[in-house]
Amino acid sequence: MIVNLALTAVLAVAPVAPAAPVRPPTPPDLVSSEVDFRTADGLTLGGTVYAPRGATGTLPALLLVHGSGTGGPGYREHLRGEAEAFARQGMVVLAPDKRQKDYTAFHRDFDQLADDALAAFAVLRDRPEVDRAKAGIWGLSEGGWVVPIAAAKSAEVRFVVLAAGPTLPPLRQQVWNVTNKFERTGVGGSIADAFPTTWHRMIGDAGMFGGAHHDPVPPLSRVRQPVLALWGEHDTAVPPAESAEILRDTLSRAGNPFYTIKFVPDAGHAMHLADARGKRLPDLVPGYADAVGDWVAAVAAGDPPRESVAPPPAQGRRSVEVAPSSWWESAPVQFGFLGLFVLLFGAYPVLWLFRRRPGTWPARVLVVTGLVGPLGAVGYLSTLMFSLTENTVEAGPLLGDRPLIWLACQAAAVAAVVSTVLVARRWRSSADRLRQGLVLAGGALLVPWSLYWGLLLP
C-alpha cells in the first residue's frame, strides 16, 4: 500500500509532454518534408525529413534516434539542430517523433524503441533521393542503448553512429551521472551517497527505474556494421573514456574491426553549445557535424575506417558496479519500515484517547522526531528525482555543502535517538509501559534505518 501511494505521488508530479511546438521555417539551404510511419503495435508517429537543397542523384541517409524523454507530437524538434547540421553534410536525415505509449520513467523497453526506429528507417530508406545501400542510424544518449539493438536486427542498416552512447547498464550509468551532478552543485555529506546510490538502487530493484538493469554489451557484440562513436570530452552524464573502452573491447572481441572512436573537444553530453549557466543551445559544437559527415562519406564510398581510437580524455572518476539490493534493502521492506514508524509512533497519541495517562516529554519528542525524520527524508529524496537538471540538481538552500532540508531530517533523527535512550531508561518505572514500549520499539527500529540512509552519518 505504501509503495502504491509513493508511486501515485511520483506520477502526480511527473512532467506532462508539451503540445507540439510551432516549427520555425526550414533554412533556405535545406528542404524538408513531413512523413508518417507506423510502429509494430499500431501507433502512427510523424517525422521531418531534411535534405540539402539542389542536391542531385541519391544521397546517404541517416535516421536520428532520441535520447531519454517522454516523447509525443513534435518531439522531433529536440533533434532539429542535429538534423539540419547533418543534412548540410550531404545526407538525407529523418528526425522522427518518439512514442509516449508504454514509455514512462518506470518502463523503458529498448527492444520496442529499436523496432520503432526500424519502422522509421524503412520510410527513410524508401525515399527516392536516398541511396538504399548507404543508409544508417544515429542515436543520442539513451539512443545508444537502442541503436545497437536495431542494427543487430537488420542488415539493411549499413552503418551506426553513437553520440554519447552509454555502454554501461542504465542504473550504473545513472549513479555516475547523479554523483557528478551533486558534485557540480556543491552537495556533499551523507546524502551524496544516499540519493545517487542507495535510493537509485532501491527504485531500480523495485521496477521503478525503467530499463535499470539492461545489459548493452550483448547487443553491441552483435553489431557487424561500421560504427562511429563520439563523446564530448567534458561529458558528465555518460563516462566518456570508460564507455569508449567497453565499446572498443566489445567490438574487438566480436570480430568487428570497423569502428572509429572520437572525443569532441570542449563538448558536453549532447555536444551542443551551452550558455553561461550550462543550458543547452540549439547549435552543435564546432567540428562535431563535420566529424560525422566525413566518416559517413568514407563509409558511403566503401572505405570505412578500421579500429581508429582517439586518446581518451581524463575521466574524473570511474563508475562503480551497483550491487543488487539485499532483501532488507528492498523497497517493500524499506517502505514497510515507514509504515511501522507511523503505526508505532502514531499509537502513542491514539492510545491516550483511551487510557488518558500523562505522557513523558522524551516520548513526545520521540513521536514527533521519529515521524518527521524518516518521512521527511523519503519525501525529500523523492522530490530530488524530479529536480535533476542537465548539469546540476536543485537541492534547495545549502548550509556549506549540506541541503538544509536534509540537515533538518538529520537533526530529527539525532533527537529521536537521544529520546529513545531516555525513554528506555524510564520504561521499567513507567506507569504507562504499553505506550512507552511502543514508541521505544519504534525508536529501536529507527536507529539502524537512519544509519542505512545516512541520517546519522556526517
Do 146 and 112 fall within a single domain? yes
Interval 13-56: pLDDT, tens: 333 333 445 678 999 999 999 999 999 999 999 999 999 999 99
Do 117 and 264 fall within a single domain? yes
Distance between CA atoms of 204 and 189, rounded to whole angstroms?
Answer: 23
Do 233 and 333 fall within a single domain? no
**Torsion 198-204-205-206 (CA) sign:** positive
| E-assigned strand segments in 106-226 | 130-140, 160-163
237 phi and psi angles, rounded to 5 deg: -100, -40
Do 305 and 335 fall within a single domain? no
Contact 217, 172 (CB under 8 A): no
Do 120 and 258 fall within a single domain? yes
55: in domain: yes
267: in domain: yes
Residue 403 has pLDDT above 90, yes or no: yes
Do 350 and 255 fall within a single domain? no
- Burial of 177 per CB tally in 10 Å (0-12, 13-18, 19+): buried
Residue 323 has pLDDT above 50, yes or no: yes
Residue 167 has pLDDT above 60, yes or no: yes
Q: What residues contact residue 189 under an 8 Å CB cut-off, 6+ apart? A: 401, 402, 406, 454, 457, 458
Of 13-17, 144-148, 330-334, the one with minimum mean pLDDT is 13-17
Do 286 and 411 fall within a single domain? no
Do 293 and 355 fall within a single domain? no
What CATH number does the domain containing 238 carry? 3.40.50.1820
Which cell goes with 199? 535510493
Residue 6 has pLDDT above 50, yes or no: no
Do 109 and 239 fall within a single domain? yes
37: in domain: yes
353 against 161, higher pLDDT: 161
191: in domain: no
Do 370 and 252 fall within a single domain? no
Mean pLDDT computed over every residue of the chain: 91
Which of 323, 377, 317 minimizes the C-alpha distance to 184?
317
Do 355 and 418 fall within a single domain? yes
Domain that holds residue 435: 327-452
pLDDT at 357: 64
pLDDT at 348: 87
In this structure, the strands spanning 130-140 and 59-65 are parallel
pLDDT-based confidence at residue 314 (cuts at 50, 70, 90): very high
Residue 99 has pLDDT above 90, yes or no: yes
CA torsion angle 327 331 337 339 (round to 10) = -140
pLDDT at 391: 84
pLDDT at 358: 66
Residue 373 has pLDDT above 80, yes or no: yes
- What is the CA 263 to chain-centroid distance, rounded? 22
pLDDT at 234: 94
- Residues pairing with 398 in the sheet: 403
Residue 123 has pLDDT above 70, yes or no: yes
414: in domain: yes
pLDDT-based confidence at residue 2 (cuts at 50, 70, 90): very low
Distance between CA atoms of 220 and 261, rounded to whole angstroms?
Answer: 14
> How many domains would you assign to the chain?
2
pLDDT at 355: 66
pLDDT at 389: 85
Distance between CA atoms of 244 and 436, rounded to whole angstroms?
Answer: 59
Interval 7-22: pLDDT, tens: 333 322 333 333 445 6
The Cβ-side half-sphere exposure at 382, using a 13 Å CA radius, reads 20
Q: What residues contact residue 211 under an 8 Å CB cut-off, 6+ apart? A: 108, 109, 110, 145, 170
User: 309, 340, 359 — which closes off a domain?
Assistant: 309
pLDDT-based confidence at residue 427 (cuts at 50, 70, 90): confident
pLDDT at 136: 98
Give SS3 for 151.
helix
Do 345 and 304 fall within a single domain? no
